[in-house]
Amino acid sequence: MGFLDKLLKRSPEPEETELVFPDVPGWISEKERVIHEEADSAVRESRPRVCDALQEMQETVSALKEAKPDENVPLHPKLLRVVEQGVPRYAAAMEKTLSLSVSDVPGEYYDDCVELISQIAKNTKGPGRYIGNVFPALLKEIRVQTDVIGREINALSGVLTKTREQSGWVDEATEAHALISDKKIQFAEAQVKAASLAEKNTAMTAKLSTLERDIQTYREGPESLEYDKLMAQKRVCEGKLREADADYKRILSLSANVFRKAIHICDLSGDKETTEFLKTVRNGLKSPSSAGRVRGLAVYPSLFPRLARMIRENDSLIKNKDEEVLFSEQDAFIIPLNNAIARTEELDGESARVTDALSNVVFVGTERKMKENILILKKQIATNSAQINDIQDSIDEIRASAPEMAENLRLNLEHLAGEVVHVSLIQVPDFT
């Protein structure tokens, strides 16, 4: 900086440094080597001085152990006794402290020196507190050498502070570079994965179109026509069954009121045998099976004479013309019910034959399998599409974060490069 710059306090123009992204790890490693070399160099210079100071103190402690008070200096007898007892303890404590090893690793070396100072101060406050009054020169020498270690600590503190700070930038820059590198790999893998899924979807969509055409063609084929014909027969049969069942239930409904009143009359008169006939016929006709209905109807000829007599003797038993016709003679009740039962059995048989024929038609199973294959393809295409969307979201996130990641790396590198250095990064992945 020139005199005028100093006078005007102008900062120097920053030095421009251009770094290629792939070369950054090597550049960081070299910076880290220089950083540690500065610290190692400082320790290499400092350690001999500290070791010399320790040696000097050891020699002083040895001399203290042999020293005698100056006879020309008047001392209080009590002080002499305290010192006489304290010197061995102080010497032992100092020798223990001075035996501590001093590492040559910068951080450990600094901590060892601090620990030495701490222990020496502790020893001096203990047994050495009164010794200086009797042996001032020896204790002064120990203080002089302690100051040597203290100055080395102070000198090294600045170096280590700078080393720790720069090591932090090394870690930050390494992590920032690794993050971009990892994102580059993730980005490439995501693109490959998305492309692969898109390619699979294209192939599956074509296959789906083929399957949909095939199932449409199959539905128009002879097997489908046979199936449709049988299904039409089944529907007709089911319709006739419903009609036959309705006819049967209509007759039962028409007879229900008469049977109920007749049972009530028998209960009042105590005619248990006729009541039993009535219930047997009624319950049999209510059976869901044709066999149960036939058995119930078979009892009706035994019931009818009793029922006819009850109708003649009780005007309230028959309330309308339909009931009067139904119970006018035995066959008026038996024939329509027998016809309805027979019709139902016939239609049940027809329905069973149609159902059996349907079970032998391969159309249903084939169509179901084709539908299942179409559904599987549609689900897989949808799953792949959702995955492609998720991958695209992650790609967009990486792409959006790229400028910030690059700037973070550049700033960390700039901190490592120095205060008056401007770093430019080239060939940084831009994730386009």
Residue (of 378, 380, 384) closest to 215 by Cα position: 378
Looking up tokens 């069954």 gives: 241
CA distance 428 to 89: 67
- Given this model, what pLDDT does residue 231 score? 78
Name which of 112, 88, 114 is nearest 100 in CA terms: 112
DSSP 358-424: HHT-THHHHHHHHHHHHHHHHHHHHHHHHHHHHHHHHHHHHHHHHHHHHHHHHHHHHHHH-TTEEEE
- Give pLDDT, residue 128: 63
Report CA-CA distances (Å) from 344 to 339, 348, 350.
Answer: 8, 6, 10
pLDDT at 187: 92
**What is the reported pLDDT for 3?**
44
In angstroms, how far is CA 40 from the centroid of its own chain? 47
Q: DSSP characters for 144-204?
A: HHHHHHHHHHHHHHHHHHHHHHHHHHHHHHHHHHHHHHHHHHHHHHHHHHHHHHHHHHHHH
Contact status, residue 262 vs residue 278, Cβ threshold 8 Å: yes
Please give the pLDDT value at position 1: 45
For residue 345, what pLDDT is reported? 85
DSSP, collapsed to helix, strand or coil, labels residue 20 as strand
Amino acid (1-letter code) at residue 3 = F
Q: Strand pairing partners for 16? A: 422
The pLDDT assigned to 207 comes to: 94
Summarised one tens digit per residue, pLDDT across range 81-128 is 656 777 888 888 888 988 888 888 888 888 999 999 999 888 888 666
Residues in the chain with pLDDT < 50? 1-8
